[in-house]
Structure 1
Amino acid sequence: LNFSRVEYHLVVENGVYVKIKDPANGQVLPEDNWTWAPQGIINIHYPEMWGYVQFTATEAGKAKEYCNEDQEADLKWALRKIYYKQRNFMADKGRFSVNLGELGIDRDKDLKIKGWNYPPMIQSTESLFEVVFQNKIGTKWHIRQDGLIWKTEPAKK
């Protein structure tokens, strides 16, 4: 869960808010940015690191509430790990990889996900890549070079 607040340095002049200027240079003072982002880094622009808030009518501690957890969060995180490795590999080598070993990914350490075929399918060009995990019924989860993650279902017969 992340909150962000931008706070400007203001005064009221003739009933109107006016930004305060720095007396030393005449420029408007920079705003203060307040963020609450318990995600291990000071950057709220990482949606994959965001948490969840679930609202309930039950008072806290009065009853056990069902938590609507993302059942595929581990799979999405595995895709995200590959994405970060690909991004770093591209910065270092000038190309994307089609080989998990070349990316330094260890199946047992980095990609422990049950019910999904291993290794994932990886396709790449000079400027694009796509990684796909597929399960036994044909459902696929994808990630590409811009970090977009999406799900595709097999065609209905």
Structure 2
Amino acid sequence: MNLCKDLSILVLLLIVSLSLPAQNSVKSNDSPLKLPKSYVIQHTQQALKIDGGLNEVDWQKVQWTSDFVDIEGAKKPSPALKTKVKMLWNDSTLFIAARLEEPQVWATLMNHDDIIYYDNDFEIFIDPHGNGHNYFEIEINAFNKIFDLFIPKPYRNGGDALISWNVANLKSAIKVDGTINNPADVDKGWTIEMAIPLKSLYLGHPFKAPKEGSLWRINFSRVQWDTKISHGKNMKLKDASGKDLPEHNWVWSPQGLINMHYPEHWGYLQFSKNENTVFNLPYVERQKQHLWLIYKNQKKHHGKFGKYATNLKELGMNGQQNIEGKENLLQMQATDHQFTATIAVKGGKVIHLNEEGLLYFKK
């Protein structure tokens, strides 16, 4: 055995491997290739009383989600308090229930469309079409006050919230296991129950009730402020300059960064009318992940050079991708200020993603 020769070969291989560009992969915690969480939502024909009790048989049968985690994911400690969600649907309504562990239930905001996240709150983000645009946000506090918004496109892409939009015919209820705004005792928490009319989530689109296997993108967030008891009230902790300490953001499916407005990181909601349905990720969702990787790399390139890359090679990416045994062609057209990336299996639908984070299909 020639030890010197073997060491020389190992060093050469290491140098070559370090010099090769990464092919369509990223290692950051917010990687588009990292699958988000999923939930199979069961159909109900039972009349549900929206009172925060969750006493109906169908509520008892369906599973809770896993406990919420920090918005940035595993790189941050687990939340100090537990939060979980369960869901049901019928042909007209999406039902959402959430249970929040909380030793001091408090709230201050009393009006519709107040900025509810200035209180401890629970937030829902829904993208019925899964295209990264035209999504909805609903926030609620322990007083059962609602802040509802329609967002045409994410803030990162120049979007702005339409606060005047309201969830038509929304029903919601809060049940506090303890006493609200009473620091003298220790509470167990609060439960949210909400009935969201499906038609209210189809602004500008003809309403189509979900069918077996329909897939939405959805996520949930809990904003939690650090407080202390002062003069008989729960008061937010402040820093040396007198500003409120940053809030905690606990979520169902981790975003990988402190920003809920990255819809491509939200979880999957699969509709079913059959019990014991197992979540099945459609093939197109695997394809979309590779488009989101181009998007992410293009935004990094633009941030560094002030313009978009004109081809995949500049991004260190390969145009040929084997996804679950099928050959896919990745392509991109770009100028300094715009780009469109596409992916398709031969003979299949072409999926497009542009610089504004909009997904769409063309044959």
Unaligned runs of 5+ in 1: 12-16, 59-63
1:4 aligns with 2:221: yes
CA contact (8 A) 2:330 2:344 kept: no
- Which letter does structure 1 place at the counterpart of 2:221? S
| Backbone CA RMSD of aligned residues | 3.6
- Which letter does structure 2 place at the counterpart of 1:129? F
Once residues 237 and 357 of structure 2 are traced to their aligned partners in structure 1, the CA distance between those partners, rounded to angstroms, is: 40
Equivalent positions of 1:3-152 (< 5 A) are 3-7=220-224, 29=244, 32-39=247-254, 41-45=256-260, 46-54=262-270, 58=275, 64-106=276-318, 111-113=321-323, 114-116=326-328, 118-120=329-331, 122-137=332-347, 139-152=349-362
- The CA deviation at 1:86 is 1.1
- The CA deviation at 1:7 is 4.3
- The CA deviation at 1:70 is 2.5
Once residues 127 and 72 of structure 1 are traced to their aligned partners in structure 2, the CA distance between those partners, rounded to angstroms, is: 27
Once residues 296 and 339 of structure 2 are traced to their aligned partners in structure 1, the CA distance between those partners, rounded to angstroms, is: 12
CA 86–31 in structure 1, closer or farther in 2 if over 3 Å, else same: closer
CA contact (8 A) 1:37 1:43 kept: no
SS for the counterpart of 1:79 is helix
Q: 1:1-60 deviations in whole A, cap 9, x for unaligned?
A: 54322346699xxxxx997696x88x68467344124437243523222222447674xx
SS for the counterpart of 2:281 is coil
- Which letter does structure 1 place at the counterpart of 2:258? N
- Which letter does structure 2 place at the counterpart of 1:47? P
CA contact (8 A) 2:311 2:334 kept: no
CA contact (8 A) 1:6 1:31 kept: no
Runs (4 or more) in structure 1 with deviation over 4 Å come to: 7-11, 17-22, 27-31, 53-57
CA 33–138 in structure 1, closer or farther in 2 if over 3 Å, else same: same
Unaligned runs of 5+ in 2: 1-36, 38-218
CA contact (8 A) 1:19 1:29 kept: no
Q: How many residues align?
A: 141
Greater percentage in strand: 2
Higher RCO (C-alpha 8 Å, min separation 6):
2
- The CA deviation at 1:77 is 0.5
- Which letter does structure 1 place at the counterpart of 2:285? A
Q: 1:81-130 deviations in whole A, cap 9, x for unaligned?
A: 1111111111222221232111111457xx433253x242x211221111
TM score, norm. by length of structure 1: 0.64
- Which letter does structure 2 place at the counterpart of 1:73? E
SS for the counterpart of 1:87 is helix
